[in-house]
């Protein structure tokens, strides 16, 4: 393991004694051994020097899909983790929406085995119900023992309130975390975009915000009844924010995330009927987008996810109503976020989810494990096809302005810049 010397780096880590200081960082055998204003280099060290270099705790994305097993044409675990590393993420939580669905311990072991010896660490999410069909609970305890960090059915809301209740009660025996996508399918109906003026103007069937909000209200009532821990991913409406804020004030153990595309884009971009912008939950109006940013700033929303979901061209480049929901987002995550949020908030929201999912959060200090993201906040540009590293190219951010640039990561004893 070659020792590494990071030169003249501004540390962004509020918990570190070196926050906002420009320092050199010496890393040996995966451990930060020295932090100082100036550290002499020698031939044994790999030296990292970049323009306006900044370093933070390693970023964690709480929702990525890769495809393997079953959909390797969309993305493999190996390439997906390389994309994550080059995008600045030292860890990702893998959704169970492969084929087969990751709903037992052998599947968990398979994806963990595939992720060995990579710079970015993979943490699997096990399906909450068998085959993510919402009928019977999957082998939650066995998956937890095999390495699953949480349980949820990706983009599939549990319609049966009793299944949701039993899941919340059951996982408390081993301090499990339930992830619940919130959507009332009967209210969604055949809707494909946000219900409102834009959907009417475009002639597209709308999904009322009530479809999300009613399920959030139900699940929060269930959480209050059962106790336990609940994470609500990718919230997208103003009432959802209010409901979660109220639940937190009551002392319920509830956390939530928002997808970057819901923070950066609004429904007006749908006017060209481009299916790259078809996502779940759908893009909302501009007033809601601004409210989501406010909820980030007041900490109602705990973390931000790319909600990275690679899809092949056969399922994405179709008529708008036929296309699958989803966009890739790892490569564009940092650059898109810096256009709407201050740097320290971006870093905080890209690292906060570790605490929610029970993953060690290493402050940048001497004698700690080195898990670092390397970047500059200043560079401005436009996100283009050349920036896409994923096998699938279904990015909603093509043509969008970006700010900042990722240099790479140091993690698991590996430097990738």
CATH number at residue 123: 3.20.20.140
Could you say which of 356, 381, 408 is where a domain stops?
356
Residue 162 lies in a domain: yes
User: 236 and 335 share a domain?
Assistant: yes
User: 278 and 194 share a domain?
Assistant: yes
Query: Annotated catalytic residue: which of 307, 312, 321, 325?
Result: 307
Total length of the chain? 417
User: 299 and 394 share a domain?
Assistant: no
User: 30 and 170 share a domain?
Assistant: no
> What's the pLDDT at 326?
97
User: 193 and 220 share a domain?
Assistant: yes
User: 350 and 245 share a domain?
Assistant: yes
Task: Write down the pTM of the prediction.
Answer: 0.96
Total domains present in the chain: 2
Query: Rounded to an integer, what distance in angstroms lies between the CA atom of residue 208 and that of residue 237?
Result: 10
User: 44 and 85 share a domain?
Assistant: no
What would the pLDDT profile of 67-98 be if each residue is shown by its tens digit? 999 999 999 999 999 999 999 999 999 999 99
Q: In which domain, by residue range, is 123 found?
A: 58-356
Q: What is the CATH number of the domain that holds 30?
A: 2.30.40.10
240-247's contacts with Cβ under 8 Å and 24+ in sequence apart are 240/182, 240/209, 240/212, 240/213, 240/216, 241/291, 241/292, 241/295, 241/300, 241/301, 243/213, 243/216, 243/217, 244/216, 244/220, 244/300, 244/301, 245/295, 245/300, 247/220, 247/223
> What's the pLDDT at 98?
97
> What's the pLDDT at 43?
85
Residue 100 lies in a domain: yes
Residue 329 lies in a domain: yes
Known catalytic membership, residue 175: no
CA dihedral 393, 340, 182, 314 (to 10 degrees): -10
User: 213 and 227 share a domain?
Assistant: yes
Q: Cα 43 to the chain's mean position, in Å?
A: 38
Q: Which of 60, 78, 4 is nearest to 352 (CA)?
A: 60
Residue 361 lies in a domain: no
Question: Is residue 350 within a helix (H) or strand (E), and if so which, with residue range?
Answer: helix 343-351
Residue 362 lies in a domain: no
Residue ranges in 105-196 assigned as alpha helix (H): 105-114, 140-146, 161-170, 185-188
Could you say which of 306, 336, 356 is where a domain stops?
356
Residues of the chain under the 70 pLDDT cut:
none
User: 113 and 224 share a domain?
Assistant: yes
User: 30 and 107 share a domain?
Assistant: no
User: 212 and 229 share a domain?
Assistant: yes
Tell me the β-bridge partners of 59.
Answer: 89
Could you say which of 308, 328, 356 is where a domain stops?
356
User: 347 and 320 share a domain?
Assistant: yes
């Amino acid at each position: 393991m070659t020792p590494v010397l990071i030169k003249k780096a501004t540390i962004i880590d509020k918990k570190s004694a070196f926050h906002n200081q420009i320092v050199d960082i010496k890393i040996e055998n995966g451990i930060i051994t020295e932090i100082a204003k100036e550290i002499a280099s020698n031939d044994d060290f790999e030296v990292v020097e970049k323009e306006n270099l900044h370093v933070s705790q390693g970023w964690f994305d709480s929702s990525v899909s890769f495809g393997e097993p079953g959909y390797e044409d969309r993305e493999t675990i190996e390439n997906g983790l390389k994309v994550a590393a080059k995008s600045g993420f030292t860890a990702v939580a893998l959704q169970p929406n492969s084929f087969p669905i990751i709903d037992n311990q052998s599947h968990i072991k398979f994806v963990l085995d595939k992720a060995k010896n990579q710079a970015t660490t993979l943490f699997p999410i096990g399906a909450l119900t068998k085959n993510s069909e919402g009928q019977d609970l999957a082998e939650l305890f066995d998956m937890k023992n095999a390495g699953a960090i949480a349980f949820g059915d990706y983009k599939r809301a549990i319609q049966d309130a009793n299944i949701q209740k039993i899941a919340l009660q059951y996982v408390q025996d081993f301090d499990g975390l339930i992830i619940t996508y919130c959507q009332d399918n009967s209210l969604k109906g055949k809707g494909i975009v946000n219900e409102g003026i834009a959907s009417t103007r475009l002639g597209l069937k709308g999904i009322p915000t009530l479809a999300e909000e009613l399920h959030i209200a139900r699940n929060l009532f269930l959480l209050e009844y059962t106790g336990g821990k609940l994470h609500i991913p990718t919230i997208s409406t103003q009432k959802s924010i209010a409901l979660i804020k109220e639940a937190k004030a009551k002392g319920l153990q509830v956390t939530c995330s928002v997808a970057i595309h819901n923070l950066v884009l609004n429904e007006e971009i749908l006017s060209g009927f481009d299916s790259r912008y078809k996502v779940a939950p759908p893009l909302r109006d501009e007033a809601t987008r601004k409210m989501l940013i406010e909820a980030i700033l007041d900490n109602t929303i705990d973390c931000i996810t790319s909600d990275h979901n690679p899809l092949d061209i056969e399922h994405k480049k179709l008529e708008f109503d036929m296309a699958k929901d989803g966009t890739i987002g790892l490569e564009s995550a940092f650059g898109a976020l810096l256009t709407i949020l201050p740097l320290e908030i971006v870093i905080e929201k890209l690292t906060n989810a570790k605490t929610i999912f029970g993953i060690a959060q290493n402050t940048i200090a001497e004698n700690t494990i080195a898990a670092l993201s390397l970047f500059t906040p200043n560079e401005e540009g436009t996100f283009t096809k050349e920036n896409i590293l994923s096998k699938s190219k279904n990015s909603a951010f093509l043509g969008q302005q970006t700010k900042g640039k990722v240099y790479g990561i140091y993690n698991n004893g590996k430097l990738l810049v």
